[in-house]
Amino acid sequence: MSSMDRRDALKAMALLPFAASWDLSAPQIERATRALALATQDPRAPAYVPKFFTRPEWKTVRMLADYVIPRDSRSGSASDAKVPEYIDWLMADKEASEFSRVSMRGGLAWLDLECSERFGKTFVASTDAQRRQVLDDIAWPKKAPPELAHGVSFFNRFRDLTASGFFSSSMGYNDVRFVGNVFNPGWNGCPTEAMAKLGVSQDLMKTRVKPEQT
């Protein structure tokens, strides 16, 4: 996990079909995204009470999400962006499948069991070094031993959900410098260097426009 940062999470979100892996529908994701936007708009809102996760699970989810996307000099962490709330909304949604819920709950239980067998403590109660040891073993599928396949599957899907939630938030938009469809009054056309690389020129492009369109 030491070499994993939010850029890796963004890549994972872009390349992996996270919705399919959790058996989630587009309306579910849209509802959770809207709820996430509302949650991040009012910092005075009361503390969130999870609708799906138990209290111990909620602590694990918040901690695990921040291992996927930690706070850095560029932006806040996954929990700062209310990603755990986003995941909870998805799991509690009326259309959430039993597969999604069992997979999530089972994965969190696996994480605690693995830490318990290694260190005699739950994931949350383990030290940072101990948690990273387990996560390092399941974060990279091609390097993970076969006996950790269940943990690998869970963490891959959890990482995708975390990235999806983070980069659906205003904090995530700012992190990737997304500005949307903004008018640029200083636009003077394609740079000369780029035109030269393409083997075209402004004069050539003008000859391709009909007179009535100029």
pLDDT at 171: 79
Cα distance between residue 149 and residue 14, in whole Å: 23
- pLDDT bracket for residue 37 (50, 70, 90): low
Cα distance between residue 159 and residue 155, in whole Å: 6
Q: pLDDT digit string (tens) for 130-184?
A: 999 999 999 999 999 999 999 999 999 999 999 988 888 777 767 766 666 677 7
Helix axes 83-92, 98-119, angle to 10 degrees: 130
- pLDDT bracket for residue 69 (50, 70, 90): very high
For residues 163, 24, 39, 69, the Cα torsion angle rounded to the nearest 10 degrees is -10
Percent above pLDDT 70 for the chain? 70
The C-alpha angle 198, 201, 203, rounded to 5 degrees, equals 155
Number of Cα atoms under 13 Å in the Cβ half of residue 180 = 4
pLDDT at 92: 92
pLDDT reading at 18 higher than 60: no
Residues in contact with 202: Cβ distance below 8 Å, sequence separation at least 6, in sequence order: 189, 195
Number of Cα atoms under 13 Å in the Cβ half of residue 154 = 24
Q: pLDDT digit string (tens) for 100-131?
A: 999 999 999 999 999 999 999 999 999 999 99
pLDDT at 10: 47
Cα distance between residue 31 and residue 189, in whole Å: 40
pLDDT at 25: 60
- Across the chain, mean pLDDT equals 80
pLDDT at 138: 96
pLDDT reading at 40 higher than 80: no
pLDDT reading at 20 higher than 50: no
Cα distance between residue 152 and residue 22, in whole Å: 14
Percent above pLDDT 90 for the chain? 46
Whether the predicted model's global pTM rises above the 0.85 cut: no
